[in-house]
Structure 1
């Protein structure tokens, strides 16, 4: 008998968590991982993952496209990722990803350290024009993002 605590899950059985994509499976939470994040997204064309143009001050990310296509916006420009492409995002580097093409994108997102995954969203508010973060609220089955500067609703995800 081992002293280790192994864990196994069947990813399709992991409950999807609220987010702006069709589906987000927090596999790290399902298996009890404590040092890295591991999420599997299914995003329909036009859906962003995760929330928008953001950065993690002390957290690295890696996106791996299993199927479909992603457009990734960075401070250095735009990258187009296809199935089997991986894209590394260093800590504190701004990034936004969106599913593009004619079919859903399936993407694995890995990040570490897990306890430093706080995201800072910095996007221009369409109402006041300020480049600010977002606050959020849950309205039924929808997540609503508001501008931190003026309080205007800027995005609604169902």
Structure 2
């Protein structure tokens, strides 16, 4: 059996990200699920780019604020306490709009914990 408590504020932030990101999986010793905590100020994007995952399912649980998620079909507003789920091969871009009055904080959970399955998506290319 194995158990761990992780002080998320003690986990280092990831450099070169458009918002504050802390990778919690490694700190918790988890290998099969990716868990990241994000804090995005108004005007900040959560992922590096509009993208989709080939294998990974993703879920964003909003801790505070409102998360906006742009998809090819519509933009979703996800308030605190709600969960936004994304199937593989489903393009999305999560962000906190510039006119927001507060930061958005969320946990992003992805499984399986694969590396390199994120594919950049350009909505303009898809429209052609």
Distance 1:58 1:95 in 2: 14
CA drift of 1:115 comes to 2.0
Partner residue in 1 for 2:96: 99
User: When the two structures are superposed, what TM-score results if normalisation uses the length of structure 1?
Assistant: 0.72
What is aligned with 1:120?
Answer: 119
The size of the alignment, in residue pairs, is 123
Deviating above 4 A after TM superposition, structure 1's stretches of 4 or more consecutive aligned residues are: none
Give the whole-Å Cα distance in 1 for the aligned partners of 2:104 and 2:35: 16
Structure (1/2) with the larger strand percentage: 1
Residue 81 of structure 1: how far off its partner (Å): 1.2
RMSD after superposition:
1.8
* Structure 1: gaps spanning 5 or more residues: 125-129, 132-158
**Higher Rg:** 1
TM-score by length of 2: 0.88
- Identify the structure with bigger relative contact order (alpha carbons < 8 Å, sequence gap 6+): 2
Using the TM superposition, give the Cα deviation of residue 116 of structure 1 relative to its aligned residue in structure 2, in angstroms.
Answer: 5.2
Change (3 A) 1:117 1:88: farther
1:137: which partner in 2? none
